[in-house]
Amino acid sequence: MNNDKFLNDLDEVYTFLNTQKSNVNKLISYLENNEFEKLTIIEEFAKYLELPMSEDLRFALVTRLVNLRDDSLVQVLKKNNKNEEEIIELQEDAYCFTRDFWHEKHKNTVEYIQNNKLLTPFYRAVFEGVYQVGLKMSSWQSLWTAHIINGINKELMNKFDGNEEKVFKYLEDENLLDLGHNNIIADRSYSALVKEKDSYHSKAYINAFKTQTTAVIDALEDFEESLIELEDEEYNEKWNYILYIQSLIKAFGEDKTHLLVSRWADVDRAWMKIKSPVQIGHPLEYYEDHFRKAVALEWDIRLTNPEFSQDDNRVNKIKSAFAKVFENVEQNEKNKSVYDFSLKSLDQVQLYIGRPALFFGAELNGLFSAQVVPNDEIVSKEMGKKIFAFSDEILQTTRAKPFLKLSSEIFGHEILNEDRKFLFNETASWHKVYDITTIGHEFGHILWCDDETESVMNKSGNFKNIEEFKATTGGLVSFFLDESNDEKQLEKQVLIDTVKRAVGLMGWMEVDEVQPYYCEGIIHLSGLFDSEVLDFKDNKLIIDLSDSKYEELKKWYVQTYTSLAKHYLDKKDASEFLNIYAIKEGKYFMPVNKKINEFVKYYFKRYQAIGQELDTNDKKENYIK
């Protein structure tokens, strides 16, 4: 097959995925248009959960199925006076229904590629192999969540009366955190705690989840065998894929906890060598497990958009801002070493713009809009990172989302009207804003860190709770400090995006696995209120997007980011920075600033009351030209 034919086939698969997502998104249109007779799958979903249908439940189930988020469902269940145990059980049932729904879609994708003889026999086998492994990952996910998130972690919280710092101290004192490179405590784990009598022991996945892990290994071995017989004539990546799969088999099969991080580092090394447009995603991130950072069961294929062409525009702007901020910190050897480490990582980044094709396991609880990986900085020092950005998927999803009463009440018609005109009509400019805010965020993760930053700064467990703010603000500051002015026309839209994101994240207050984003939102709100872009009076959010307020906000971001950079370079505990803006009130972080605190409580109450209600006073047709 010549390369043009392969790229045309890739384009056909990409179009198929786009169409499939559009068809799933129709469930939202049926909801908006009260065409409930077309929502038979949602009726089935409610029956499966044994819940009586209501308007807010219908919205929550559509959201769970289409957008893979269950925060709306949890709010509806709380409204219906379900207790914590019942909610956990219903979340699990909803996961299983969603899993089966998407597995069927993925099966259709694989069959479409096979039946139409698209791509090459080698890449058809890659799709089939990932699908078969994925089925095993998804069935393991339920037990993983039950054991780690809803089992051990809740036990630990109860044991120490909800005091997280005591939990972290206990884990460290009892040597229950896995060791990583150079025998220092790792910033993540590929193991689970198992209770035996009155004490806990760290056990590798192969021991803690023997049946499920063995099933994954078996599927990986079949996958490897299927590729041995074939050749990759397009990209000559055959042995890179095979060595990658072999390293996965070895890592999943490792039973010595002190070797797990190095085994998975080998997986990341093998994976970094694969540069074809068909990228596999494996366990990389660790958001759900707040205590031991057990790496989530990710498994997917990300497909690169055939029309994507590499350019260095964003990374060059990031580098320029990075250098300017670095000029304002102490110029010593230690700081220069971290700066050079980050710069080298930036230079080695591989950027992939595309969309998820198949996804399983933890990803059925929510897909990312972009991702920078691996998190193993030792591997990144050698080989850099991959950034994945799913802009086509996010644009499609954002345009499909229903208009909500809550947005209308909080933001008002004027700002929403401007934002919606932009969303539905300015496709090229929307992608540029995504580049600044989202791809900028992923590049922002790379800055100010070396191979030990996270483990040193995470002693009290709050590293991730400032890291997401650091990442987003890295992208924003590179925009604010840019002297080229080639993106100046996007200022208003970047500002609106920042306001909407900061406020919207407050709806995630009670969702543990996205706590880092919620905390990020609180810090953004501090800047927006300090600069008086936002104010809150008489239960009303006042928004001022004038040039003078925008200039004040820019100053706040540059100053705050410079101070945060120094915090990272000094490797101070993350809690010290976080607690300037947010402290725990009971179970959840709340803003230190009184006015912001008042606003967040007000917003969350309104989110609980009307967060699942549609705005029937405005329609998408008003914006689509």
The predicted structure's pLDDT at residue 308: 81
The predicted structure's pLDDT at residue 598: 98
Backbone angles phi, psi at 354, to 5 degrees: -170, -140
Read off the pLDDT band of 189 (50, 70, 90).
very high
Backbone angles phi, psi at 362, to 5 degrees: -60, -25
Say which residue the tokens 């993540």 belong to.
188
Residue 214 in this model has a pLDDT that exceeds 70: yes
Read off the pLDDT band of 582 (50, 70, 90).
very high
pLDDT (mean) for 78-101: 97
**Rounded percentage of the chain residues whose pLDDT exceeds 70:** 100
pLDDT (mean) for 69-86: 95
Per-residue pLDDT reduced to its tens digit, 545-554: 999 999 999 9
pLDDT (mean) for 24-52: 97
3-state helix, strand, coil in the chain (%, to 5): 65, 10, 25
Q: Are 94 and 64 in contact (CB under 8 A)?
A: yes
Per-residue pLDDT reduced to its tens digit, 303-356: 999 888 777 899 999 999 999 999 999 999 999 999 999 999 999 999 999 999
pLDDT (mean) for 563-585: 97
Peptide bond into 374 cis (omega under 30): yes
Question: Which residues partner with 352 through β-bridges?
Answer: 388
pTM beyond cutoff 0.85:
yes
Q: Which CATH class is domain 120-304+350-384?
A: alpha beta
Residue 465 in this model has a pLDDT that exceeds 90: yes
The predicted structure's pLDDT at residue 197: 86
Q: Are 68 and 367 in contact (CB under 8 A)?
A: yes
Per-residue pLDDT reduced to its tens digit, 357-399: 999 999 999 998 999 999 898 999 899 999 999 999 999 999 9
The predicted structure's pLDDT at residue 310: 74
- H-assigned helices in 120-162: 121-144, 153-159
Mean of per-residue pLDDT scores for the chain: 96
The predicted structure's pLDDT at residue 450: 92
The predicted structure's pLDDT at residue 4: 87
The predicted structure's pLDDT at residue 382: 92
CA distance 238 to 247: 14
Helices (H) and strands (E) in the chain — how many of each? 26, 11
The predicted structure's pLDDT at residue 1: 59
Instruction: Find all residues with CB under 8 Å of 44, minimum gap 6, and list them.
Output: none
CA distance 475 to 478: 5
Per-residue pLDDT reduced to its tens digit, 516-554: 999 999 999 999 999 999 999 999 999 999 999 999 999
Per-residue pLDDT reduced to its tens digit, 218-243: 999 999 999 999 999 999 999 999 99
The predicted structure's pLDDT at residue 625: 75
